[in-house]
Amino acid sequence: MSKPTENRLWGGRFTGASDPLMDLYNASLPYDQKMYDADLTGTKVYTEGLQKLGLITSDELTAIHKGIEEIRNEWQTNTFEEKAGDEDIHTANERRLGEIIGKHIAGKVHTGRSRNDQVATDMRIFVRENLEKLLEFLSGFIGVLTKRARQEIDVLMPGYTHLQRAQPIRWSHWLSCYATYFTEDYKRLKQILVRVNQSPLGAGALAGHPYGIDREFLAKGLGFDSVIGNSLTAVSDRDFVIETLFWSTLFMNHISRFSEDLIIYSTAEFGFIKLSDAYSTGSSLMPQKKNPDSLELLRGKSGRVFGSLSGFLMSTKSIPSTYNKDMQEDKEPLFDALTTVEHSILIATGVISTLTINKQRMEGALTMDMLATDLADYLVRKGVPFRETHHISGDCVRTAEELKLSGIDKLSTAQFKEIDSRFEADVKEVFDFEVSVERRDAIGGTAKSAVLAQLEALEAQL
C-alpha cells in the first residue's frame, strides 16, 4: 500500500495524510512554476557534477539530460501535466523525470542536494535572467528619452518648483532630468546583478556537500561569477530578493514622479503634451474626456511594488539562521514586482515615444516674472552683491505689479533707474527667454551645449 506522502521529496519520515488545507497552504507550484527552466537547467548542471564524482554513469547522465529536455518542451508547449503531490516546481519536475526515465535513475539526481540550495539556485538564475531583461528594456527607454531630447532641444518651457513657475528651461532639459534618474537606476541594477550572480548550489541543506562536489564547476556551468563561501549563508540568503525589491521600489518611485509630471502637463490647464490614443482611455459618461490612464496606472502600480518590499521585509526580519519556510514568501512579491516593473518600463517607453508636444503652449506659459533672477544677475555682472540685487529685483517685480503692468519688462528704463541708478538702457536685453537658458551653460545647465553634453554622458553609460 502506497504511503500518502510517497511523492513528496521529504515524505519518508511521514506516514499520515496531510490536512488538505495544509497542502494548499504549503503549495507553491501555482506561482513558482515560472522557474521551471531555471530548475531544469540547475538539475542538468548538477548531475554533470555528480557524474564527475562517479555517482552517476555517463549513460545515466545522458538519460537524465534527455528527460530534462523533454520536460522543458512540455512546459514550453503547455502540455506538462501537474499531479497531486506536486507541491512545488522541484517536486513536479523530479516526479515527471521519474515517469520518463524511471525512478531508479531519476532518484539519483538529488544526491547530496537539498531543496534549500536547489531553490536558492533557481531563484538566483531566475532573478538574473529577469534583471538582464530589465537592463535591456531600461536601456531602450532611456534611449527614447535622449533621442527625443535631441530632436526637440529648441523647445522652451517653464521649470517649476513647488508647482509654481520658476525659471525657463528646455523641454529637453526635463527629458534629460528623468533620463538621468533612470540611468542611475540602470547603473544600480548592474551592481545588483553582480551580487545576484553568486552560486549557492552544492551547499546542501545547510552544512555543505557530503561527496565533495566541485562547486566552482557547478557555478561556471550555470553562468555564475562566483560561489557563496558559507553554506549556511548560501541556503538562507534572500538579500538578493530584498535588494531587487528595493531597486524595483526606487525605480517605480521615479516612474511615478515622471508620470505625475506628464499627467499635469497633459491637463487642459497646461496643455503642454497630448498622449496618443494608444495610451489613453475615455469616460463612460463624458464623451469629451481623454484620460491619461497609462500614466495613472504607472503611478498607482508604484504602491503595489512598495508593498511587495515592505511585506517581504516583515516576513524576513525575525527569521533565525539558515532555511525556514517563511522564505517561501519571497516568490510572489518578487515575481509580481518584476512583472510590474517590466510592464511599466515598456508602457513608459510607449508613452514617451508617441506623445506629442504643444510648443506654443509650452513657450506661451513663459512669463517675464520668471526672469527676475536674470534681472538680479544683470546687476551682479556690474559688481553689485547678489544679496543686494535680489532685493532690487524684488522691488522691480513689486513696482510692475503696483503699476498693473503685464510684466517687469514693461518698466521703462527711467523706471528701472528710479528703483536703482545702476540700471542702464541695456537692461532690456535681460528679457529674452532664449538668452536666459543659454546663459546657464555650466555642467548640468539648460543651455543647448550643456543639455547636449548631458545626453552624451547618459548615452555613454548605457
Q: Classify residue 205: in a domain, yes or no.
A: yes
User: Given this model, what pLDDT does residue 10 score?
Assistant: 47
170 three-state secondary structure: strand
**In this predicted model, what pLDDT tens digit does every residue of 405-444 receive, in sequence order?**
999 999 999 999 999 999 999 999 999 999 999 999 999 9
User: Given this model, what pLDDT does residue 29 score?
Assistant: 86
Q: Classify residue 454: in a domain, yes or no.
A: no
- Residue 410 and residue 333 in one domain: no
445 three-state secondary structure: coil
- Residue 351 and residue 397 in one domain: no
User: Given this model, what pLDDT does residue 281 score?
Assistant: 79
- Residue 206 and residue 173 in one domain: yes
Tell me, what amino acid is at 222? L
Q: Are 245 and 337 in contact (CB under 8 A)?
A: yes
254 is catalytic: no
- Residue 359 and residue 372 in one domain: no
> Residue 366: CB partners within 8 Å, gap ≥ 6?
156, 157, 158, 165, 168, 433
What is the average pLDDT score of the chain? 93
Q: Classify residue 2: in a domain, yes or no.
A: no
- Residue 272 and residue 412 in one domain: no
- Residue 347 and residue 386 in one domain: no
Domain of residue 23, residue span: 11-106
164 three-state secondary structure: strand
- Residue 146 and residue 241 in one domain: yes
pLDDT (tens place) for every residue of the chain, 462 residues total? 344 455 555 455 555 566 777 666 667 888 889 999 999 999 999 999 999 999 999 999 999 999 999 999 999 999 999 998 898 999 999 999 999 999 999 999 999 999 999 999 999 999 999 999 999 999 999 999 999 999 999 999 999 999 999 999 999 999 999 999 999 999 999 999 999 999 999 999 999 999 999 999 999 999 999 999 999 999 999 999 999 999 999 999 999 999 999 999 999 999 999 999 999 876 666 666 689 999 999 999 999 999 999 999 999 999 999 999 898 899 999 999 999 999 999 999 999 999 999 999 999 999 999 999 999 999 999 999 999 999 999 999 999 999 999 999 999 999 999 999 999 999 999 999 999 999 999 999 999 999 999 999 999 999
198-199 and 164-170 as β-strands: parallel, antiparallel, unpaired?
unpaired
Residue whose grid cell is 532690456 = 428
> How far is it, in rounded angstroms, from Cα 456 to Cα 334?
34
Which member of 2, 58, 104, 162 is catalytic? 162
Q: What is the pTM of this model?
A: 0.91
Burial per residue of 72-83, b for 16 or more beta-carbon CB atoms within 10 angstroms, e otherwise: bebbeeeebeee
> How far is it, in rounded angstroms, from Cα 444 to Cα 238?
38
161 three-state secondary structure: strand
> How far is it, in rounded angstroms, from Cα 440 to Cα 447?
5
Q: Is 128 exposed, middle or buried (0-12, 13-18, 19+ CB in 10 A)?
A: buried
User: Given this model, what pLDDT does residue 4 score?
Assistant: 44
Check residue 398 and report its DSSP letter.
Answer: H
The DSSP annotation for 295-350 comes to HHHHHHHHHHHHHHHHHHHHHHTTPPSS--GGGGGGHHHHHHHHHHHHHHHHHHHH
Which member of 283, 310, 412, 449 is catalytic? 283
Residue 14 region, left (φ>0) first, then alpha (ψ -120 to 50), else beta? beta
The DSSP annotation for 239-276 comes to HHHHHHHHHHHHHHHHHHHHHHHHHHHHSTTT--EE--
Q: Classify residue 277: in a domain, yes or no.
A: yes
- Residue 328 and residue 397 in one domain: no
- Residue 37 and residue 178 in one domain: no
- Residue 390 and residue 424 in one domain: yes
CATH of the domain at 223: 1.20.200.10
The DSSP annotation for 348-360 comes to HHHHHHH-EE-HH
- Residue 76 and residue 219 in one domain: no
CATH of the domain at 54: 1.10.275.10
In terms of C-beta distances under 8 Å and separation of at least 24 residues, what long-range contacts does 60-68 make, across chains too?
60/105, 60/108, 63/101, 63/105, 64/97, 64/101, 64/105, 64/106, 64/108, 64/109, 66/101, 67/97, 67/100, 67/101, 67/106, 68/40, 68/43, 68/44, 68/97
65 is catalytic: no
- Residue 358 and residue 380 in one domain: no
Q: Classify residue 452: in a domain, yes or no.
A: no
User: Given this model, what pLDDT does residue 66 score?
Assistant: 98
Q: Classify residue 459: in a domain, yes or no.
A: no
List Cα–Cα distances, 94 to 68, 69, 113, 355, in angstroms.
9, 13, 13, 50
210 three-state secondary structure: coil
- Give me the number of domains the chain comprises: 3
